[in-house]
Amino acid sequence: MRESERDQEENGVTTVYLDNNATTAIDPRVANVMLAQLLDGPTNASSQHAYGRRSRSNLDAAVEAIGSCLGTRLDQPKGARLIITSGGTESNHQALTGLGHQGSIALSRIEHPSVIATAKWLEQQGRSLRWLNVDQDGLVDLDQLQTLVATDGHEIALVSIMAANNETGVIQPIINAAKICQTAGVPLHVDATQTVGKLPLNLSESGISALTFTAHKFHGPAGVGGLWLAPEMKVEPVFHGGEQQLETRPGTEPVALVVGMSEALKWAVDEMDQSTEHCRMLRDRLENGLIERHPDLVIQGKVHDRLPGTSSISFLKTDRQSMLMALDMVGIACSSGSACSSGSSPPSHVLTAMNCSLDEIESTLRFGVSKFSTIEEIDKSIDSISNAYNKLRKKTCVDN
């Protein structure tokens, strides 16, 4: 049995993996390319001998290929740059701490915890924060952004808005936000960890100043990501200790990981049309199948465009943690929110910002399908989720 997101077995239960917003299974084609790179010999792209030159060549080729997939040239002097990082959290941290050193930071209330936590840390250091609201279905209020930059633009050093929400999947109006920020002369950072490899992107025409992404969201390896910077952007390093990456992110570059990220992004972009259609079909099948059996379920963010594979469902009159554990026991892997905070399971700040009812906030689970998911898995999931919901809802009614 091939160990993948489709057929991992534990204690005799075959698990259906529906947590692809948290991380995705590595594409076997990517793993093979990485293995070849790892077996190619020592890889330190800073070394001047033959091994080092070959590593540098492989690294540069991978970075240029990533740029091509993102619609940006990364081989031009004083042009756009890509800083290789350990992933989305580090990229977000470097963007917020290293861009716009003076002035306020404006960010939406539904940003990923890595953005919000960094912003609140900066607030403790004396920076002021301006919060952008969202509507009841999770879309950022651009009228508020317009007013904010028009009245206080000279005080705002950076705006940070995610490309799509990691809990609801709601796609944010980033291009329009970029136009507003450009007119005001304020840089826009975009956390695109949920959209790179899933939605079309042309960075050279986007108006975005900085963009975060990470490989493990599009079937690449964990532990590597990027912070893209527009040509005019300069960023301060998070730490010091070497001359790599123009001293903005010192340390030996992980060549095999970058090669893997490049390969994964290439396949994600090449197969985007069919993957999008496949994931949307499975997501809709899951939602429609559950709604047919339980009309009282609430699909969060459904009125807006969403990521094709993301579904946030409120199982009213149940507790999300109890539901999560019940599904895990029958082989359905999902989550109760962001993977970076689900361990302690605090109430969702995203649903809170959307002014959802307490019942909705306390009962919402997130499901995420991928290009490896199957119709058979979705049909099994509908049965398992429905059964768990019936049992827990009945128990709640008895307890009350």
The DSSP code sequence of 156-217 is: EEEEE--SB-TTT-BBP-HHHHHHHHHHHT--EEEE-TTTTTTS---GGGT--SEEEEEGGG
* Phi, psi (deg, nearest 5) at residue 252: -60, 125
Query: Rounded to an integer, what distance in angstroms lies between the CA atom of residue 225 and that of residue 260?
Result: 11
Contact indicator for 20, 334 with CB cutoff of 8 Å: no
Helix (H, G, I), strand (E, B) or coil at 1: coil
Helix (H, G, I), strand (E, B) or coil at 231: coil
Amino acid at 367: F
Helix axes 174-184, 142-152, angle to 10 degrees: 10
95: left (phi over 0), alpha (psi -120 to 50) or beta: alpha
Indicate which residues carry an active-site annotation: 340
Nearby residues of 260 by Cβ (< 8 Å), 6 or more positions away: 26, 30, 31, 33, 34, 37, 215, 220, 221, 224
Question: Residue 209: which of 230, 193, 227 has the closest Cα?
Answer: 230
Question: Residue 261: which of 226, 211, 230 has the closest Cα?
Answer: 226
Q: 189 to each of 73, 115, 158, 172, 315, how far by Cα in Å? A: 19, 10, 7, 13, 34
Contact indicator for 307, 356 with CB cutoff of 8 Å: no
SS3 content of the chain, % helix, strand, coil (to 5): 45, 15, 40
Query: Rounded to an integer, what distance in angstroms lies between the CA atom of residue 35 and that of residue 22?
Result: 24
- Indicate the pairing of strand 310-314 with strand 298-299: antiparallel
DSSP single-letter state for residue 318: S
Query: Rounded to an integer, what distance in angstroms lies between the CA atom of residue 338 and that of residue 353?
Result: 15
